[in-house]
A and B are shown apart, each in its own frame.
Chain A
């Protein structure tokens, strides 16, 4: 099992290591202490995020295999795996790699188009994942309930989305010559807002569980959905600001977000690993007990 090696601790270590190394590579440049290794730091940033999503893909597939007879949850974890898989392409399109083949790629509107061609299906997969998960936990009939304040948060998210669409000049693709890019970015945002709204329900369910590994996984998943919405919003609202603090914060935050699906999947997968260990210990104890009684 991959999950027995890729524990939440390993994922957190990967996240912290990526942020620390990226800072170590970039901060001295900003302070004028060393020359700018722009491409290297970009490759590093893309590579790290791709590793994060690749781990999420592998772990999600492993978790999905745990639900051979539970249709909704199988769909949910496979959809999350699809989100992670497509996000790898998104990272590649965002990074400098296509620039090795395509001239002026980093400044070309093609970059935005390719990026959003990946973001929309990735967000759709994430939406399918969180809806299927909510449906599965609701169906089991353990009394998970949505509270009034959850509806208030959902309305708040809808209001923020409306605002973002109204002032869409703040969006990165607002001026793209490709009409498809503009529509894709807006579709991606609608999907992201829907994901955030549904993840509020998921978070409420996690709160009502009273602890446990599953609740941790659901909370991290909620954090993933909400933090992406918040970062898109922050990016759009603070676009006129060009200071280094904004850049550093956004770049670091987006890098951290890339590891959250892997962390959520690692928490969920650890549930299985621990259960398998407990099961083995139980069987061993019973065998020892039977042997002692027989002798």
Chain B
């Protein structure tokens, strides 16, 4: 904490989530403190850049209804299969990317084919099963999935799967 303003206060101020009294206090301080003013300007600029990058990423990965459906189906399948906490064990990042790949393939070759392709790719790679896919064996898994996609979706579709699977 510097000049009585905590990190949470700064975050709340930049995000415009502070109560009026707290906001007035920080603004009153900013009028007279150049150091805090520069710190605020840097923080605001960084937040804005992050917001723009987030928007660009979202524009780059638009989900169609079919993709959303495939993603949701995958979630429900896991709930039904009763795998609590598995996502956190091997990292939500892998889980998220698997769902995304399934969502990318579904409009091309069908939701069922996409789900089967992920399982077959895992079986055919070092991971041996979809549950065992981790960041360490991700690349051979992705190669295996891309070769399946080359048959089911053609070379352009396979290239899309390959690029979508890269972190």
Partner of B107, one of A139, A274, A276: A274
Chain A residue nearest in CB terms to B166? A286
Query: Which of A101-109, A120-128, A181-189, A211-219 lies at the binding interface?
Result: A211-219
User: Chain B residues with Cβ under 8 A from A274's Cβ?
Assistant: 107-108
Q: Are B156 and A214 in contact (CB under 8 A)?
A: no
User: Chain A residues with Cβ under 8 A from B163's Cβ?
Assistant: 279, 282-283
For window 66-92 of A, CB contacts with B under 8 Å fall at: 66-70, 73
Q: Are A275 and B62 in contact (CB under 8 A)?
A: no
* Per-residue interface assignment for chain A, residues 268 to 292, with 1 indicating a CB less than 8 Å from any chain B CB and 0 otherwise: 0001101110110111111011001
* Per-residue interface assignment for chain B, residues 111 to 140, with 1 indicating a CB less than 8 Å from any chain A CB and 0 otherwise: 111111100100000000000000000000
Q: Complex: how many Å from CA A278 to CA B108?
A: 11
Q: Are A293 and B53 in contact (CB under 8 A)?
A: yes
Interface: A174 (CB within 8 A): no
Report the minimum CB–CB distance from B52 to chain A (whole Å): 5
Query: Contacts A209-B110, A288-B53 known; A136 to B116 CB distance under 8 Å?
Result: no
Q: Are B156 and A210 in contact (CB under 8 A)?
A: no
Chain B residue nearest in CB terms to A72? B151
Query: Contacts A63-B154, A212-B106 known; A285 to B59 CB distance under 8 Å?
Result: yes
For window 37-51 of B, CB contacts with A under 8 Å fall at: 49-50
Interface: A238 (CB within 8 A): no
Interface: A241 (CB within 8 A): no
Q: Are B154 and A279 in contact (CB under 8 A)?
A: no
Partner of B160, one of A210, A282, A293: A282
Chain B residue nearest in CB terms to A292? B53
User: Chain A residues with Cβ under 8 A from B150's Cβ?
Assistant: 67, 69-70
Interface: A40 (CB within 8 A): no
In order of increasing CB-CB distance, the 3 nearest A-B pairs are A285-B60, A210-B112, A209-B110
Which residues of B approach A to under 8 Å, CB–CB?
49-50, 52-53, 56-57, 59-62, 66, 104, 106-117, 120, 148, 150-157, 159-160, 163-164
* Residue contacts A-B, CB under 8 angstroms, 7 given: A140-B151, A142-B152, A281-B59, A281-B60, A282-B164, A284-B60, A295-B49
